[in-house]
Amino acid sequence: MIAYILQRLLLLPVLLFFFSIMVFAIVQAPPGDFLTSYVATLAASGSSMSAEHIDALRHQYGLDQPLIIQYLKWVQNLLTGNLGLSLEYQRPNADLIGEQLFLTIALALFSFVLTWVIAIPAGIYSATHQRSIVDYVLAVFNYVGVATPNFMLALILMWLAFAYFDIGITGLFSSEFAGAPWSGAKVVDLLKHIWLPALVLAIAGTARLTRVMRANLLDELNKPYVMTARAKGLNEWRVVLRYPVRLAFNPLVSTIGWYLPALFSGSLIVATVMNLPNIGPLLLRALVNQDMYLAGAILLIYCFLTIIGTLLSDILLVWLDPRIRLGG
């Protein structure tokens, strides 16, 4: 097991190297560079910059150098743990990402917990009460949940909250708390705001998870060992919860690995629409503005998380289900 983990970890730098090339290529793919988009932004807000100034800035930022040189410099910085400087913010990328990291994780965990807390019982109930009224009702909810794009849901809920409850729900904080240092009042303010975005993010996941749980459990419920357990006179709930539910978890656990990067990227559009201060909108902005080192840093972090996440889910699976073996 340890050898397996080590082997996987050794592969990490190689994978990251390939990812860094891909990330750089993707970030560089759109025509123009940061200054083109910067000038475009200026023009749209009425002001402008002289051509000489633009050229000088391009030189200052090293954007006039060949791509390969820009890439090598970037990687060289990365190797020394330096994520580089954001062109737009003129601040170290590590600071920018770090600032948003806590809220990103808080929101993601909140919605993750919400998803599992709703979906698992719902899935179990649906499976054990197949074709009951509740099962059908849940099914309808699930289909709607999966079919509705998250951002659409966010917009509808935002409008409803505004139109009927007269509350404006954008952001994770009221404006007087957003820039304030952490305090009890700020946490309360966060809790007041976080439920709606978390719910929006959780709904699609819940729907999917409920269906998966239901299907997995139905497979297990018809297996002979369940019948044996029943025949031995075990209480029905104990029968279901003891073994089939545990086994039904397998496919869910195997997707936890994907969940890790999705924690950060999944909420991009919702976060933008709901004005949440997390990494999603930061990445979107960086891509639109061609703030290449910031976008590159965030994308590379996603790649890293995907690799780590996959490893984690592999380890979890082995731990959960001894039938799964490593290798051959």
Residues that bind another protein (CB under 8 A): 30-32, 36-53, 55-56, 60, 82, 85, 88-92, 96, 158-159, 162, 166-168, 170-171, 175-176, 178-179, 271-275, 277, 281, 284-285, 288-290
Residue with smaller CB distance to another protein, 30 or 121:
30
**Nearer Cβ to another protein (40/137):** 40
Please check whether residue 119 is in contact with residue 206, taking contact to mean a CB–CB distance below 8 angstroms: yes
Give the residue among 146, 155, 257 at the shortest CA–CA distance from 203: 146
Q: Which residues of 55-79 are buried (b: 16+ CB within 10 A; e: fewer)?
A: eebbeebebeeeeeebbeebeebbe
- The dihedral built from the CA positions of residue 102, 90, 180 and 192, taken in this order, carries a sign that is negative
Q: What angle do CA 169, 171, 176 make, to 5 degrees?
A: 95
Furthest CA-CA distance within the chain = 86
CB of 277 to another protein, least distance (A): 5
Distance of closest approach, residue 304 Cβ to another protein, in angstroms:
21
Pick the closer one to another protein by CB: 51 or 68. 51
Minimum gap (Å) between residue 59 Cβ and another protein: 9
Contact in structure between 268 and 154 (CB atoms under 8 Å): no
For residue 284, the SS3 value is helix
Q: Least distance (Å) from another protein to the CB of residue 139?
A: 33
Which CB sits closer to another protein, 90 or 222?
90
Residue position matching structure tokens 């709606």: 196
Q: Rounded to the nearest whole angstrom, what is the least distance from the CB of residue 276 to another protein in the complex?
A: 8
Is the Cβ of residue 82 or residue 148 nearer to another protein in the bound state?
82
CB atoms within 10 A of CB 264: 22
CA 315/CA 2 separation, integer angstroms: 10
By beta-carbon proximity to another protein, the closer residue of 228 and 275 is 275
Query: Minimum Å distance from CB 148 to another protein?
Result: 18
